[in-house]
């Protein structure tokens, strides 16, 4: 479906995935209103990293999804709403769970209500996370897998997902829940495992402290994830559905380290740091997506191989190493 001239509202547009989604939408001719978190420095997050000729076509608005009145105003007139805004750092959620409820649950509720009141809405895409599944009880993980609140972060996202379900069942809201697995690529937070490893290699460090090396993840390159979200927005068969976005491949943290070492040409010694371990019952040991549903309902498939995606990510980090506090993440 052609999105030329279609109006999109993207929350969390200043974030890692959100900035790539904005870039994709503008490239395909959409009219984009991008919400960035209000701050005193007038920063626009990772939107500053997208090409200038694309950025100048974006309507950037500042605000907070916790403000229900403002969300009503910003949703008005838009045909598609892509709700990505969320607190995502799992470690911080152990210390400040209320913040996660306020942003991830109440924020989602505000978007849902604004969409319900909209006269122009065609589809709301609510972005969830594979963390809602907890450790895999079976693999690959399909959308019927039990939901497990193994961290305050995942619990907040489960709550938001259920609010979405209620608005579809109660009010017939045209909404789909996208459940991306572990997205990686340029612009990802420096505390994520792949940027942490790559930045240390680029800096010439000989030792790297990491948590558990055995957990596996379904890593999906960020442009593939963004394309999956758009495919769900445009699908005629996604209303009321929960749909995984993942590569269907499983890689351990140790394998990820080995591939990055190969790409970099450097060597590094991995030290397991107990302080970086999740609480025992909170660790998610395996995540592997069953992506058959999105493939069936749309023309989407993951296109970037893990090796090629890591190489692209490594090159971006190498070019932007000044953005990384190497000493901070080495401790």
DSSP 225-292: HHHHHHHHHH-TT-TT-EEEE--S--EEHHHHHHHHHHHH----EEEE-GGGSPPGGG---B--B--H
325 falls in which pLDDT band (50, 70, 90)? Answer: confident
Checking if the pLDDT of 192 tops 80, the result is yes
pLDDT tens string 199-245: 989 988 888 878 788 889 999 999 999 999 999 999 999 999 999 99
Distance CA 126, CA 137 (A): 25
Across 156-182, average pLDDT = 98
Q: Which residue in this structure is represented by tokens 């505390």?
A: 191
DSSP letter for each residue of 186-230: TT--TTSHHHHHHHHHHTT-SEEEES-S--EE-EEEHHHHHHHHH
pLDDT at 205: 87
Rounded percentage of the chain residues whose pLDDT exceeds 70: 95
Checking if the pLDDT of 328 tops 80, the result is no
pLDDT at 104: 98
16: left (phi over 0), alpha (psi -120 to 50) or beta: alpha
pLDDT tens string 296-324: 999 999 999 999 999 999 999 999 998 88
For residue 10, give the 3-state DSSP assignment: strand
Q: Which residue in this structure is represented by tokens 């974030």?
A: 15
pLDDT tens string 63-112: 999 999 999 999 999 999 999 999 998 889 999 999 999 999 999 999 99
pLDDT at 91: 85
pLDDT at 207: 85
Across 42-63, average pLDDT = 97
Checking if the pLDDT of 329 tops 60, the result is no
Domains, in order of start, for the chain = 7-184+220-245 (3.40.50.720), 193-217+250-286+305-330 (3.90.25.10)
pLDDT tens string 21-32: 999 999 999 999
Checking if the pLDDT of 154 tops 80, the result is yes
pLDDT at 66: 98
pLDDT at 256: 96
């Amino acid at each position: 479906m052609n999105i030329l001239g279609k109006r999109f509202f993207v929350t969390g547009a200043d974030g890692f995935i959100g900035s790539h989604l904005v870039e994709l939408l503008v490239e395909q001719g959409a009219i984009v209103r991008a919400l960035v978190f209000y701050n005193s420095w007038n920063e626009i997050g990772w939107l500053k990293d997208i090409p200038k000729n694309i950025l100048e076509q974006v309507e950037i608005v500042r605000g907070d999804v916790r403000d229900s009145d403002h969300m009503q105003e910003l949703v008005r007139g838009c045909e598609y709403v892509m709700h990505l805004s969320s607190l995502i750092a799992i470690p911080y959620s152990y210390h400040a769970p209320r913040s996660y409820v306020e942003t991830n649950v109440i924020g989602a509720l505000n978007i849902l209500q604004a969409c319900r009141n909209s006269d122009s809405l065609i589809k709301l895409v609510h972005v969830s996370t594979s963390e809602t599944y907890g450790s895999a009880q079976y693999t690959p993980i399909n959308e019927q897998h039990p939901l497990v609140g193994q961290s305050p972060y995942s619990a907040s996202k489960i709550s938001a997902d259920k609010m979405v379900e209620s608005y579809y069942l109660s009010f017939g809201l045209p909404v789909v829940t996208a459940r991306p697995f572990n997205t990686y690529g340029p612009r990802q937070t420096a505390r994520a495992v792949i940027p942490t490893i790559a930045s240390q290699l680029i800096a010439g460090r000989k030792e790297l402290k990491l948590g558990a090396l055995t957990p596996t993840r379904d890593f999906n390159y960020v442009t593939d994830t963004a394309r999956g979200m758009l495919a769900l927005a445009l699908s005629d068969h996604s209303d009321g559905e929960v749909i995984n976005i993942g590569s269907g491949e499983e890689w351990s943290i140790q394998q990820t380290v080995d591939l990055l070492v190969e790409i970099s040409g450097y060597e590094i010694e991995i030290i397991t740091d107990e302080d970086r371990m999740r609480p025992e019952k909170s660790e998610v040991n395996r995540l592997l997506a069953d992506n058959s549903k999105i493939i069936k309902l749309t023309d989407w498939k993951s296109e970037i191989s893990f090796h090629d995606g890591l190489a692209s990510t490594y090159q971006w980090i190498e070019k932007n190493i000044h953005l990384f506090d190497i000493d901070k993440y080495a401790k």
